Chain A
Amino acid sequence: MFQPIMDQILALSRDAWAFMAGLLIIVALLGGMYYILQGTAGAAFGGSRMTSMAIVGVVGLVIIVLFAFLFLPQIGEMLKNFQPQPPF
């Protein structure tokens, strides 16, 4: 009875997931570019703190993207395995 509605919701959810994954990639690329600009500017005029902050920022960004694309699907799989049958 609920299957047609479920299909619609799941299709919408898949679209939303793809959209957000794409947006995350774009944000991460722009952020990476910004940090690289910051790092090179810092290196150019001898701002070692600025450069090191930029390197840390790039590493943090990579970790967040890896977390989103590797860890989140695993969490989803785990929750899917836990999805309960009706207890009544």
Chain B
Amino acid sequence: MTEAASILLTFLREAWMALAGVFLAFALLAGMAQLLRVGSAGMLGSNLWVWQSVSALLSILVLGLFAFLGIPQVVRALQDSLPGAGGCGPISELGAFASGLIGALAALRMLKAAFASALSASIGGAGAFAGALVESAEALFGMLLAAAAIPLAAWFLGAC
């Protein structure tokens, strides 16, 4: 069980690093595109377009900071609240395996949601932006529910 968890977590860690790298590259490209838009809109005298681009640029920056500074802290806090070993024997191993996997999947899901929201912010899709933030909140509440469910399951299956 421990080896399986280790393999899965290594895979998910690599996925996290890849997603963070793509997020960074995309944020920079989106920033450059918005600046190009600001330049051309300013030349045409389109004030609204300029303000839209400036706000999109700022929102991409804020989402990037949230993704890189906020999400790891949230995930660490929630992982600390997940009970790793709610029993003894196979139940304990299963609990540790489940809590590690739930934390990793929720972290990846939140990063993916932040990436999707940055994508929506750069192209001005408010609906997709809201959907991505809802997905992030879902991952958060999923972890909170798991924090409550794991001890209950351990108790039901017979904790030591």
Residue in chain A with minimal CB distance to B76 = A87
- Determine whether A45 belongs to the interface, using a CB cutoff of 8 Å to chain B: no
- Determine whether B15 belongs to the interface, using a CB cutoff of 8 Å to chain A: yes
Whether the Cβ atoms of A61 and B107 lie closer than 8 Å is no
Which applies to chain B's interface (DSSP): helix, strand, loop or mixed? helix
- Cross-chain pair count, CB within 8 angstroms: 117
Whether the Cβ atoms of B29 and A64 lie closer than 8 Å is no
Q: How large, as a class, is the contact surface on chain A? A: 35 or more
- Determine whether A84 belongs to the interface, using a CB cutoff of 8 Å to chain B: yes
Residue in A31, A68, A87 whose beta carbon sits within 8 Å of that of B35 in the complex: A68
Residue in B24, B39, B79 whose beta carbon sits within 8 Å of that of A61 in the complex: B39
- Give how many B residues have a beta carbon under 8 Å from the other chain's beta carbons: 43
Whether the Cβ atoms of B76 and A64 lie closer than 8 Å is no
A41 to B16 Cα, complex, angstroms: 57
Which applies to chain A's interface (DSSP): helix, strand, loop or mixed? helix
Residue in chain A with minimal CB distance to B102 = A88
Interchain residue pairs with CB less than 8 A apart (15)? A13-B25, A16-B29, A20-B29, A24-B32, A24-B35, A30-B43, A35-B43, A64-B42, A79-B28, A82-B69, A83-B21, A85-B17, A86-B12, A87-B72, A88-B79
Which B residues fall within an 8 A CB radius of A?
Answer: 9, 11-18, 20-22, 24-29, 31-33, 35-36, 38-40, 42-43, 61, 64-65, 68-69, 71-73, 75-76, 79, 100, 103-104, 107
